[in-house]
Amino acid sequence: MDWIWTLCVGFLVPFVVLLHYRRQRAGSSASRLPPGPRGWPVFGNMFELGPMPHKTIAGLSREHGPVVWLRIGSIDTMVVQTAAAAADLFKNHDASFVERTITEVMRAHGFDRAAVSLSPPGPYWRAMKRMMTAEMLVQKRIGESEAVRRRCVGDMVEWIGREAGKGNAVRASRTCDGGGVHVARFVFLASFNMLANLMLSQDLVSPDAEEGSEFFAAMIELMSCSGQPNIVDLFPCLRWLDPQGLRRKIDRGMGKTLKIVAGFVEKRIREKKSNPNSKKDFLEVLLEYRGNGEDESDQISDHQLHIIIMEVFLAGSETTSSTIEWAMVELLSHPEAMAAARSELARVVGEGKRFEEAHIDDLPYLQAVMKETLRLHPPIPFLVPRRAVREVNFMGYQIPKNTQLFVNAWAIGRDPQRWEEAAAFKPERFLGSGRDYKGQNFELIPFGAGRRICAGIPLAHRMLHLVLGNLLHEFEWGVDEVGRKAMMDERERMGVTVRKLVPLMATPRRCSA
């Protein structure tokens, strides 16, 4: 937190009196706000959140209850922390919190106005949501691309097999005593290629290249920049200064990325003209939709189309790899669960046979493992923050307009009122329970709920199970002493998603055919 303190001292002192007035403006209405810890003048509670704020804020419920009020810098924030409070929110007040909180880096090149997950409610958002849920991310369209995912996951298995072979050769020569495979790296590469083929019908990366393709490198830079905390988001009055230079950096990086995406689109248009019967990918759906709407609100500009493509990569690749990494950590930490999952795969898929998407419905324990992983480790712990579009009475509290809303999915997944032994990894709790993560069971909402629920759940469901199922079916996994220390390190890194600070390094051994 040293960088925050330095910036505060250097840039915020002249604004102390002005911003302190904001603390006093509420008057008698302050008593009707949710309870929460008292913060510092001007800075509010920003110094109390720590490196893992979802965990810190979850702990506040013991003293303040299911709804907590914070002031993070100059931003009034309400945090919903239990399943009951989440149910009230999404059932009765969803429309009052339908807009997103927009950070400064999200504004670059109008990303926040064009991205489906961020754009304000209105004709454009409704048209794009309808297009994605009815044209792109429906079961039929996803099913048509099954062969693409099968090939990309097959490549991942071969990459890991080669990497494991290198490790075995090194150990045989006695030049080292351990090591392992960086699991999340290979999953990330495979996820990126799956999305690349779904969107653009081509591979973009390979583990043999240090930086990957130009587009891959540009997207990694954007993810890194987007995940950095920005003092401007806490004190918007500093926006004109851009003290950390993040807005300038993201403007350059996003501009470069958009040019690359524009090249992909132009190439696809030329290919379609020369071969009208070529296979249909998601880009083809977008190109057909562009300009075919009944009015201007239904039409996609070139710029909006390019941003939607970027959004798919940003939303899909990082979340998949972080979730699979946590699943492997939990399974390696609970050998009985690992054995149960692998036994089910052997029985349903068969020894020496390749795991296919058609097997997913016949693997209730594998599905339970994924649900339990997402319960304990939602990739975005606060979901994508929302904003109150009007003053609203919520659970007896008077919430002012423009209040930022955090839904603490991490805390909700560990709500002791809804989960027995809430902190324990027990996939068996889902067997026969009917609970899922599609937005109707508010105790399990890693993808959100309500109007702004993630449109990509059907695709994520297939990708997550396909990747994890293949990892478990194709390899036996273990960890050496170094890997076990990394596995037991519970520290997390906040970014686009929350993932392990110390990556999982596990040792695979190829199962015999």
How far is Cα 92 from Cα 76, in angstroms, rounded to an integer? 21
Neighbours of 80 (CB within 10 A): 30
Q: Is the pLDDT of residue 292 over 80?
A: no
CA atoms within 13 A on the CB side of 32: 14
Token digits of residue 245 = 């230079």
Tell me what pLDDT residue 495 has.
78
Per-residue pLDDT band for 493 (boundaries 50, 70, 90) equals confident
* DSSP states of 197-215: HHHHSS----TTSSS--HH
Contact criterion met (CB below 8 Å) for 381 and 408: yes
Per-residue pLDDT band for 295 (boundaries 50, 70, 90) equals low
The enclosing H or E element of 508 equals strand 505-510
Could you report the per-residue pLDDT of 339-359, keeping only the tens digit for each? 999 999 999 999 889 999 999
CATH code: domain of residue 159? 1.10.630.10
Domain range holding 369?
2-510
| Over residues 1-10, mean pLDDT | 44
- Which residue ranges are tagged as binding site for heme? 454
| Over residues 445-472, mean pLDDT | 96
Into how many domains does the chain fold?
1
Tell me what pLDDT residue 481 has.
84
SS3 478: strand
SS3 407: strand
Neighbours of 205 (CB within 10 A): 21
Distances in whole angstroms, Cα of residue 129 to Cα of each of 76, 96, 132, 135, 144: 29, 19, 5, 10, 21
Tell me what pLDDT residue 12 has.
45
| Over residues 433-446, mean pLDDT | 95
Q: List the Cα angle 138/141/143 in 5-degree steps.
A: 100
Across the chain, what does the average pLDDT equal?
A: 87
| Over residues 268-283, mean pLDDT | 79
How far is Cα 396 from Cα 69, in angstroms, rounded to an integer? 13
Tell me what pLDDT residue 208 has.
66
Contact criterion met (CB below 8 Å) for 205 and 193: yes
Could you report the per-residue pLDDT of 38-74, keeping only the tens digit for each? 999 999 999 999 989 999 999 999 999 999 999 999 9
- Burial classification of residue 491, based on how many CB atoms lie within 10 Å of its CB (0-12 exposed, 13-18 middle, 19 or more buried): exposed
Contact criterion met (CB below 8 Å) for 149 and 469: no
For the entire predicted model, the pTM comes to 0.89
